[in-house]
Amino acid sequence: MSHTRPAGTEDSGADAKIADAPESWPVERSEDRYRSRMVGMRTDWVEMPGPGGQGTSLAARDYMEHPGAAAALALDDAGRVLLQRQYRHATRHTLWELPAGIIDGEGEGPLATARRELVEEAGLRADTWHELADFFPSPGFSNERIHVFLARGLSEVPAEEIDFEREHEEADLVAEWVPLEEAVHLVLAGRLHNGATVIGILAAHAASRTGFTGLREPAEP
C-alpha cells in the first residue's frame, strides 16, 4: 500500500526534525501549594527570556504533579473496541472510556498498569500489546503523561483470579463493544470526550490501515 505525504513535506526532513524532547529551564525557587496521596500542586519561579529576548525574567508557573496513567484499547477478533461508561465528577459527565488507571503500583510502569486495569475493569487478558500513543493531556498546567496501548488476543479471566472489588464509580461501569470504524465516527461526531479514548481510537484506526505493522513495542522500567 502506498502513502502520499502532505504537499511541501517531501524533502523537508520533517520526520527527522520534529520530535518532542526533554528540557528544563532554571528554577529559582519552588513552593508546594497542596499535596494529597496521589497528586500535588506546585508553583515554580522559572527563568524565562526577557522582553524582546533580552536578558531573563522570572515567571511563576503553577502546575499539578501527577504520577501518570495508562489505558488499554482492547480490540477483539471482530475488530471491536471495548468502551466503558463511567461517571467523572470533575466534569459532571458520564464518559465512555477505555479501561485505564493511574500508575500507582510500587515500581509499576505504564504497561503493567494497562494490564492490571484491563483485568480489574474488564476481566480480560491480552496476548499481544503495542503502544499506540503517549501524550501530555494538559501540558500548560500538569506534568501528567498518559500511555495508550493496543491489546489484542483477548481472553476472559476467571472471576476467582481477579483480586479486586469494584466500588464507587467503578461499581457502576457499563460496557459496550463497538466496531472500530463506528468508534471513529463517534469521535468525529463529538460523542466521545475522554482524551485517551479519542486519541487511542484514532491511533488504532490509523494503524489498522497497515495491519498494525510498525507500532512500538511497549517498554517497561
C-alpha distances in Å from residue 14, one per residue of 3, 18, 23, 61: 16, 6, 20, 31
Q: What is the pLDDT of residues 59-90, one digit of tens each?
A: 999 999 999 999 999 999 999 999 999 999 99
Structural contact between residues 193 and 93, judged by C-beta atoms closer than 8 angstroms:
yes
| Closest to 98 measured CA to CA, from 208, 207, 196 | 196
C-alpha distances in Å from residue 24, one per residue of 16, 27, 43, 47, 166: 22, 8, 15, 10, 40
The single residue of 47, 65, 108, 170 carrying the catalytic annotation is 170
Amino acid type, 10: E
Query: Is the pLDDT at 92 greater than 50, yes or no?
Result: yes
- CA–CA separation, 141 and 98 (whole Å): 24
For the chain, what percent of residues have pLDDT higher than 70? 89
- CA–CA separation, 97 and 131 (whole Å): 17
How much is the pTM? 0.87
| 160 is a catalytic site residue | no
Q: HSE of 13 in the Cβ direction (CA atoms, 13 Å)? A: 2
Q: Give 82's contacts (C-beta < 8 A, 6+ positions apart).
A: 73, 74, 76, 98, 99, 122, 124, 175, 176, 177
Query: Is the pLDDT at 7 greater than 90, yes or no?
Result: no
Give kind and range of the element (H or E) at residue 153: strand 146-156
Cell numbers linked to 79: 475488530
In the structure, what pLDDT confidence band is assigned to residue 44 with cuts at 50, 70 and 90?
very high
* For range 16-35, the mean pLDDT: 92
The pairing of strands 146-156 and 69-74 is parallel
**Angle in degrees, CA 48, 54, 60, rounded to 5:** 20
